[in-house]
Structure 1
């Protein structure tokens, strides 16, 4: 399958699936407003919020987040046949790579929708918004969504323009502003999330399909923990505090006893889930599984994307981690050549397997945006960095026990730090976490340059030529051309 065909399919599929999949409302989304009269009722406020949530179904959140976290790292090869994804895999990303501009546009599109809600909803005079406290909830959800998009932007690009008010299509000059610093972006994200925590409930109802579809207090606290861990001047006391707020939440988040149930397609909206997009299949389906799953499950024969690496497979095997490996990776013989697993037809190749059902481009399979397993491991990291290594090891071993592997005996801070990083890799592969983890640990450059991945076409190791400049992506060239105040990141 050529990249042009894939792009055409993706455009069509995204266009048809950007419809509200949130069961809490059947309202038609409103994504833009160009006059003051567009928002006058509670119903219109809900429609605007639905439009803001729809941004989570765009291509970035379907699978580009995996490409720019798992494929760019040591977890997966590009697979497929798209030169722009090969460039991500080989750390040869240039400003004209089209995926940069697509992701930039989609994330800022989500921000624009959240900004519209935050601007318009306070001025709506409708008693329905206040009688139940719904106005505050809507604003809390919008603050969360804006913070979530900016968090992804700042991790990808570093400092970016902060746009906090709606900009009408006829006034695009208002987008022509310079970058805020990375610290300023993080400060805004934290301010938004603190607002969200103050405004959001722990749960909206007794229905998990509602509570896992929408931003809650637990989601905001979970994201605050991740934000405080990821920002350069991290504060592990705050990370620990926000992790505990999630773990002790009245929403009663719990690890599932069986790891495989997280990804079998039959247990979504479970107790471990904090936030997930509510794909239900056609016409509101996830096209991502069709791109990744093997011929026996996808029904087609072209080369698939996001191929697990030798290094990832070896990491599972080194821990005798059968449960999570079998839930995350599926081996199958294929009729194409694979430069890492078999440079001949009929080779056995691994496939990314946390999605299980392709359903002809309209799967009900989901990717968790936030889940408790991640937060528990982040708590272990915080405890260890605060010198509370014995407590951290105990927390880590909760995750290892669930995976049915032997408990960690690491008894020094440095040894446990390495053990937690590895545990996050095995627990969270294909969940868009690995690159953030390597960067946070200060290991991305060393890990990529020390990889020994052999290209079977040449029998030579791949030279990833990782540098500190590559910790951030280049600013998209199209955006630089449009915005004369935007400057390129160093090294590009």
Structure 2
């Protein structure tokens, strides 16, 4: 990997070694404890490896869409992969292969962050300034927090591992699950520490400021964490959102279509995955986009639902619908959209370039539109309805929709419903829907009240949603490996 790719991909601008040094550098995993992490360049390379998990982990590439949008009421499964249909039908078993893949990949990402935190204070290289040392710590704490937040939302109680594991002793590696309250306490402690160590910006280049963890990214993540935890702390949510809004990064809402037209690292973006295309590309768009764009003819793995399209249409929301959905006639049979060749069906369209599984289309890890609606939620839960309505209307007006009506906002409950719907239309295909429904405690009712008709037989689909299905099963392979673990209710 040459310096240009490292700097462009992860914006680690303090790498001060030659191209030849990087070409000769062995993988971090091959360095021994005796010679690894003695120089500034080595710890910077380890940090690059920690960021790289957003691209190498399949969950962050596109499976977050499967486990949020497809698993919820936003999308149907398509293609020919039985495991994706199991996600859609809420029939996920402990042997589902994606569970172990994501469990292991995300823990691997955590291990990379732990390694950086363990080794950073042992670096005595004069090229590593104390300012940069603190920033590296902050970036690693942010990454560890982000990944544990992903784990706890998917599985609830999970093992809390805060150091690298260098032993095969079963007493060391067989770690039991940690109570969810302790995990959230660790996440919030890490992210608030990270916010104190990181700058609002690293300079004037958005390609750097949107690629790396900043104080603004930490406060945005903290706001989401304090809202999602079992007992939300909405006052803390507001405090962190106020820090985002007062950041020197000057985050600003932009025209909605401009969020998804290749306008990368824009003013609304807080942090995003820095796909470059080609060898550093995103394969997700090829799995979603229609034949006219993807250049292939096979049935795609994700199809927006009738219920989602009805939600856009009921609101008259053409701006966000047109930026998010593209209809096209296809030659395969879709059982929810016509059930015959030649039917017009919708496609997820926030990614717009397939490029043969090597797209430069990006995912937002955090963006301001999400945070504005989260602020509305916090204000509403704190009985500040007027202020909450103002925030919702900012998002609606950006989508060229009128202000909320009195009927939509005349009580805390009606406003709560309006905010949840607004989040659905704003954040479709961004891996948020399942978490939103869980946070609002309406997952079971939403899925069981959903009316989706299978046109092959005219029958409604029964999702048989239960409280036990809110969390994923612990992967069977991990249970077999670690007898200290206990399975989630099935």
Query: Is residue 10 of structure 2 the alignment partner of residue 22 of structure 1?
Result: yes
Matches within 5 A, 1:113-132: 113-130=112-129
Is 1:230 the counterpart of 2:218? The answer is: no
In 1, distance between residues paired with 2:114 and 2:267? 31
User: 2:262 matched to 1:261?
Assistant: no
Please give the alpha-carbon distance, in whole angstroms, between the structure 2 residues aligned to 1:20 and 1:395: 35
What is the CA–CA distance in structure 2 between the aligned matches of 1:334 and 1:296, rounded to whole Å?
10
Give the drift of 1:24: 3.2
1:420-452 CA-to-partner distances (Å, cap 9, x unmatched) read 000000000000110111011110000000000
Q: State the alpha-carbon separation in 2 of the partners of residues 41 and 290 from structure 1.
A: 40
* CA apart distance, 1:34: 4.2
1:366 maps onto 2:362 in alignment: yes
Structure 2 Cα separation of the partners of residues 470 and 328 of structure 1: 28
1:480 counterpart residue number? 479
Per the alignment, in what secondary structure is the counterpart of residue 36 of structure 1? coil
Deviation at 1:20, TM superposition (A): 8.0
Equivalent-residue separation in structure 2 for 1:171 and 1:104 (angstroms): 21
TM-score (norm 2): 0.94
Q: Greater CA deviation, 122-131 or 110-119?
A: 122-131
Q: How big is the shift at 1:411?
A: 2.2
Matched, 1:338 2:334: yes
Aligned position for 1:284: 280
CA–CA distance in 2 between the matches of 1:225 and 1:247? Answer: 12
2:428 aligned residue: 429
Residues 149-199 of structure 1, C-alpha deviation per residue, up to 9 Å, x if partnerless? Answer: 000000000000011111237667633110001111111111110110111
Partner of 2:467: 468
2:18 match: none
Of residues 145, 157, 160, the one that matches 1:159 is: 157
Helix, strand or coil: the match of 1:330?
strand
Q: Deviations over 1:8-59 (max 9, x none)?
A: xxxxxxxxx9998224357679553541321100000100000000000021
Answer with 289-298 or 21-30: which moved more.
21-30
Shift of 1:458: 1.6
Is 1:355 equivalent to 2:379 in the alignment? no
SS at 2:253's partner residue? coil
Find the aligned partners of 1:376 and 1:37 in 2 and give their Cα distance: 47
Q: Secondary structure at the match of 1:349?
A: strand
Question: Which of residues 174, 177, 195 is equivalent to 1:176?
Answer: 174
Equivalent of 1:406 in 396, 402, 407: 402
- In structure 1, the gaps of 5 or more residues are 1-16
Q: Deviations over 1:60-111 (max 9, x none)?
A: 1011111111111000111211111111111111000001111101100100
Correspondence for 1:301? 297
After TM superposition, give the deviation of residue 457 of structure 1 in Å. Answer: 1.3
List structure 1 runs of 4+ shifted beyond 4 angstroms: 17-20, 25-31, 169-173
Measure the CA separation in 1 of the matches of 2:178 and 2:463. 30
Match of 2:132 among 125, 131, 134: 134
Cα RMSD (Å) of the superposition?
A: 1.7
TM-score of the superposition, structure 1-length normalised? 0.93
SS of the aligned residue for 2:129 comes to helix
